[in-house]
């Protein structure tokens, strides 16, 4: 009896000690919590100026101008309830500040004095270089973007036609801010999509040439406010080393996209031989293979394209249901693609800049031979022959099987 009583007492004691121990542990854990956020690097979201896009322009006498588009958080929280406030022009969600300096970090430190919040680069997804700066070299500015821990390698890079700052200043009606417009356009693969990482890779890799999409402001329609023009992608800038040497038009850019196997969902329109009108295909899918060859010391590139499309508009009188007309249309389709690719290829050769990354392809297949000629690769590239081999098919023709609005005898069956 006595014994069991003593046992329960000991048990009690143990339990109590256990209890105090766990309380102390709990207190300890709770007490440590305030320290977990850190002391020196504590940042509150209300202390940050979130940069959504940045533009870098060249000013005279070795100065650059850095403009940042900073997101205004209160604009979202107040305007969100009513919805669509940006239509009235009252929903300005960003502000643009700019400052001159000898390089980005210098300008940035001056810019900071104009902004009450700490500049935060982590969400900056758009960097635009001014045309003048791109022509004089972007390497120095690129170093900052790659070295600083905040800017992200996934950010998209652009070159603007003329000055870059107005691109940030425009207030697009459909999206929240112009940086978002550019990003969305890039995601549609209208022009080239080049991220910071891609640019770094293009410049440090074997070909030492890069291509960046060129953006321009679409002038606003009549009756719209001056700032309502939106930026859009007009072509491609060709960079040799880090300097811009030329541009390619939209049409050439499309050929370039074919060559780089980056083209996605756009419409191909062509005219079959011997008939009036044009046929359009959409969507178009393609598999592009670039095969470098060295035959008898001659450097040559073979482009193999396998492409298929569905008819979306037929302006000719060809009945595509009949095999013969289809063949004719397919042949025209094939010729059209060939021409596009050839044009783009000749154009890049003309610029003597290997923006297709062919140097890399050659290095991958013929490392020894490439190492020997690495120094005059650009000359070899400029003289290189190209063979284009396109296999084109039309797979579907939509909801109607004859050209619309034509009577039986107007349609050419054969």
Look up residue 203 and give its two tokens: 């410049």
Please, what's the b/e burial string for 300-310 (b: 16 or more CB within 10 A of its CB; e: otherwise)? ebebebebbbe
Let me know: does 341 contact 255? Beta carbons within 8 Å.
yes
- What's the closest the beta carbon of residue 265 comes to other proteins, in angstroms? 17
Measuring CA to CA, which residue among 204, 241, 361, 377 is closest to residue 289? Answer: 361
- What's the closest the beta carbon of residue 75 comes to other proteins, in angstroms? 21
Nearer to other proteins, 1 or 39 (CB): 39
Look up residue 222 and give its two tokens: 């009549």
Let me know: does 158 contact 181? Beta carbons within 8 Å.
no
Distance CA 206, CA 358 (A): 9
DSSP 209: E
Nearer to other proteins, 205 or 246 (CB): 205
- What's the closest the beta carbon of residue 211 comes to other proteins, in angstroms? 16
- What's the closest the beta carbon of residue 149 comes to other proteins, in angstroms? 5
Nearer to other proteins, 321 or 371 (CB): 371
Q: What are the angstrom distances between the C-alpha of 42 and each of 48, 51, 145, 326? A: 11, 19, 23, 67
Nearer to other proteins, 7 or 265 (CB): 265
Let me know: does 79 contact 73? Beta carbons within 8 Å.
no
- What's the closest the beta carbon of residue 178 comes to other proteins, in angstroms? 17
- What's the closest the beta carbon of residue 185 comes to other proteins, in angstroms? 14
HSE of 261, CA atoms in CB hemisphere, 13 A? 12
- What's the closest the beta carbon of residue 183 comes to other proteins, in angstroms? 9
Residues whose CB falls within 8 Å of the CB of residue 189, separated by 6 or more in sequence, listed in order: 257, 262, 263, 264, 265, 266
- What's the closest the beta carbon of residue 173 comes to other proteins, in angstroms? 21
Nearer to other proteins, 125 or 163 (CB): 125
Residues that bind other proteins (CB under 8 A): 38-41, 122, 149, 152-154, 187, 197, 200-201, 204-206, 360-361, 363-365, 367-368, 371
CA 41, 47, 51 angle in degrees (round to 5)? 100
Let me know: does 215 contact 112? Beta carbons within 8 Å.
no
Nearer to other proteins, 187 or 350 (CB): 187
Look up residue 138 and give its two tokens: 């972007």
Nearer to other proteins, 173 or 205 (CB): 205
Nearer to other proteins, 224 or 371 (CB): 371
């Amino acid at each position: 009896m006595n014994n069991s009583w003593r046992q329960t007492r000991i048990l009690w004691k143990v339990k109590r000690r256990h209890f105090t121990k766990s309380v102390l542990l709990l207190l300890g854990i709770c007490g440590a919590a305030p320290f977990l956020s850190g002391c020196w690097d504590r940042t509150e979201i209300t202390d940050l100026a979130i940069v959504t896009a940045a533009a870098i322009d060249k000013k005279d006498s070795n100065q650059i101008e850095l403009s940042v588009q900073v997101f205004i958080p209160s604009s979202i929280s107040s305007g969100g309830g009513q919805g669509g406030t940006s239509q009235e022009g009252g929903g300005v969600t960003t502000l643009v500040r700019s400052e001159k300096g000898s390089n980005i970090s210098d300008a940035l430190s001056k810019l900071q004095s104009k902004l009450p919040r700490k500049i935060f680069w982590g969400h900056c997804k758009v960097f635009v270089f001014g045309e003048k700066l791109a022509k004089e070299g972007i390497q120095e500015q690129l170093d900052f973007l790659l070295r600083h821990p905040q800017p992200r390698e996934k950010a998209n890079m652009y070159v603007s036609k003329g000055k870059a700052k107005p691109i940030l200043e425009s207030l697009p009606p459909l999206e929240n801010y112009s940086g978002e417009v550019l990003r969305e356009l890039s995601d549609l693969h209208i022009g080239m999509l080049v991220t910071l990482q891609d640019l770094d890779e293009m410049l440090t890799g074997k070909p030492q040439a890069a291509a960046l999409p060129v953006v321009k402001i679409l002038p606003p329609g009549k009756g719209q406010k001056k700032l309502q023009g939106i930026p859009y992608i007009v072509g491609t800038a060709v960079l040799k080393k880090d300097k811009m040497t030329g541009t390619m038009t939209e049409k050439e850019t499309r050929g370039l996209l074919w060559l780089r196997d980056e083209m996605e969902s756009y419409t191909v329109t062509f005219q079959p031989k011997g008939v009036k009108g044009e046929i359009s295909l959409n969507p178009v899918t393609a598999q592009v293979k670039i095969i470098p060859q060295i035959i008898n010391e001659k450097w040559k590139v073979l482009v193999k394209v396998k492409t298929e499309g569905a008819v979306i508009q037929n302006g000719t009188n060809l009945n595509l249901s009949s095999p013969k007309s289809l063949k004719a249309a397919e042949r025209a389709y094939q010729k059209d693609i060939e021409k596009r690719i050839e044009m783009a290829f000749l154009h890049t050769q003309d610029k003597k800049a290997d923006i297709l990354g062919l140097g890399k392809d050659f290095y991958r297949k013929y490392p020894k031979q490439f190492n020997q000629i690495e120094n005059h690769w650009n000359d070899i590239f400029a003289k290189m022959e190209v063979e284009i081999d396109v296999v084109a098919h039309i797979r579907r023709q939509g909801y109607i099987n004859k050209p619309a609005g034509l009577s039986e005898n107007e349609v050419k069956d054969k």
